Amino acid sequence: MSEGKTKPRLHLVLSPKRAEITPEDFQELGLQGVLFPLPRHGLLIFIHFPDVTEEEFRDTLEHARPAFILELRASPRFDIGRLNRLLAFHSFQKHNAVYLDLTSPLMGKVDLEAILSSLRRFLDTTRPSFDRPIAFLMHRMECDSDFIKRVLEIVTSFDSTASEVYEVPRFVVEVTKG
């Protein structure tokens, strides 16, 4: 091989696989976590529509038991699988979660700055404790990863312990040994 030329390298590209939502995903890791599971303090859950399945949505609510579910979608819909708006709200009530639509004043328009302002007002007036997770309902076409970073910055400015992010659906890369 002549100098200056490098040998091409092969790279293995692994595709991520959809991960199951489990109760352990939302529990504090500790000495007595198995016997007395506690919700993860400071956990922020971002649920992405329309990608989330009915099962993932229900499992997230059941296992995470968020204190608040904050609507960040311009057009809130819950029609995934057999789920509908009535069943979604019944599930919120069953799991003792408060649902707040931060986009209703926008009348169906996508205005990310207005949504972030509504989030700041919510945090300023409510001052949640973050003892239980807070869930954010988002639409893939309206919000990107930069928006999630901005939400995280706003939330951590109110409470620095709220810094762990969990996204639904969740994907993991499985590495197999050969």
Mean pLDDT, 10 residues at a time, over the chain (178 residues)? Answer: 64 78 86 67 94 96 96 92 95 96 81 92 94 94 88 91 89 69
pTM for the structure as a whole: 0.84
Q: Residue 36: its pLDDT value, please?
A: 67
**What's the CATH code of the domain at 106?**
3.40.50
* HSE-CB of 93 using CA atoms within 13 angstroms: 6
Is residue 13 one of the residues assigned to a domain? no
Q: Two tokens at 119? A: 């989030």
Q: Residue 144: its pLDDT value, please?
A: 79
Residue 119 has phi, psi (to 5 degrees) of -65, -45
Is residue 31 one of the residues assigned to a domain? no
* HSE-CB of 67 using CA atoms within 13 angstroms: 15
> How far are the Cα atoms of 4, 14, 126, 173 from residue 99, in angstroms, in the given order?
61, 37, 13, 32
Q: Give the whole-angstrom CA distance, residue 91 versus residue 48.
A: 18
The residue type of 28 is E
Is residue 160 one of the residues assigned to a domain? yes
Is residue 18 one of the residues assigned to a domain? no
Q: Residue 160: its pLDDT value, please?
A: 81
User: What residues make up the domain containing 153?
Assistant: 44-172
The count of domains in the chain is 1
